[in-house]
Amino acid sequence: MRIGELAERTGVPAATIKFYLRERLLPPGVHGENNIVDYGPVHVHRLMLIRALSETAGLSVSQIGGVLTVLSRHPDSAFRAMGATLAVTHREPKFSLASEESVERAERTVERLLAAYDWAEVTPPMYREALVTALAAYFRLGHPDLGDVLTHWADAAAQLASADIESIVEATRDGDVDVEQAVVTTLLGETVIGTLRRIAHIAAAARFQAGEGSSGTMGA
């Protein structure tokens, strides 16, 4: 089909399709007779994927480019594709006002946490630095130790990672390893989990406050 029909069928404006072509997010069409460029089902699907990654998962154009590169490089390994996807969509936190003391304290806290979860050896420097930066900002603001909260977060993170891995293992067992599916699940997962956290928070606060109230019958 021509670019006009591709636009009509997908609902993505032709100008936007041309932008994706220029940014190489969309593979070029096939040049046919009379200089007509032909697009097919691959382009329809790719457009839906690009829109899901940008509008729904909130990724930037360069992050989407990174994810598409991951998909082309790891067509057979959902494990590697998922890990590489998490790496290219990692946002590097900064904190320019950190003090030496807050950084040192953050480093000690991160070392203890990674050791406790047996994660010290496998953690890449960029993730370790991200944790140190975030905790240094927290300490610099004069807040005390995070205490148990950090352990709860690490437990939840371990649970999320197990879910990722299990979903791949299950799909593999069914002989149906779909690398794109694994990657999309991981990325939309960040949006879904963030929203579920907000809902669970409202529910937990309501339950706690009811339990603290006069009747206490809703505290169970």
Residues between 30 and 59 with contacts to a second copy, criterion CB under 8 A: 45, 47-49, 51-52, 55-58
Q: CB under 8 A: which stretch of 26-34, 59-67, 68-76, 95-103 binds a second copy? A: 95-103
Tokens at 119, concatenated: 């994660």
Q: Would you count residue 145 as binding a second copy (CB under 8 A)? A: no
Residue closer to a second copy, measured from CB, 29 or 89: 89
183 within 8 A of 146, measured Cβ to Cβ: no
Cβ-count burial 12-46 (b if 16+ within 10 Å, e if not): beeeebeebbeeebbeebeeeeeeeeebeeebeeb
Reduced to 3 states (helix: H, G, I; strand: E, B; else coil), residue 37 is strand
- Distance in Å, CB of 188 to a second copy, minimum: 5
26 within 8 A of 46, measured Cβ to Cβ: yes
Q: Which amino acid is at 32?
A: G
Residue closer to a second copy, measured from CB, 29 or 186: 186
Q: Would you count residue 218 as binding a second copy (CB under 8 A)? A: no
Residue closer to a second copy, measured from CB, 19 or 119: 119
The residue from 32, 40, 75, 194 that contacts a second copy (CB under 8 A) is 194
Q: Would you count residue 111 as binding a second copy (CB under 8 A)? A: no
Q: Would you count residue 160 as binding a second copy (CB under 8 A)? A: yes
Place of tokens 């991160």: 110
Place of tokens 């205490």: 147
Residue 150 CB contacts under 8 Å (≥ 6 apart), including other chains: 109, 113
Q: Would you count residue 156 as binding a second copy (CB under 8 A)? A: yes
Q: Would you count residue 202 as binding a second copy (CB under 8 A)? A: yes
53-92 positions binding a second copy, by CB under 8 A:
55-58, 79, 82-83, 86-87, 90-91
Distance CA 139, CA 170 (A): 42
For a second copy, how many residues bind (rule: CB under 8 A)? 94
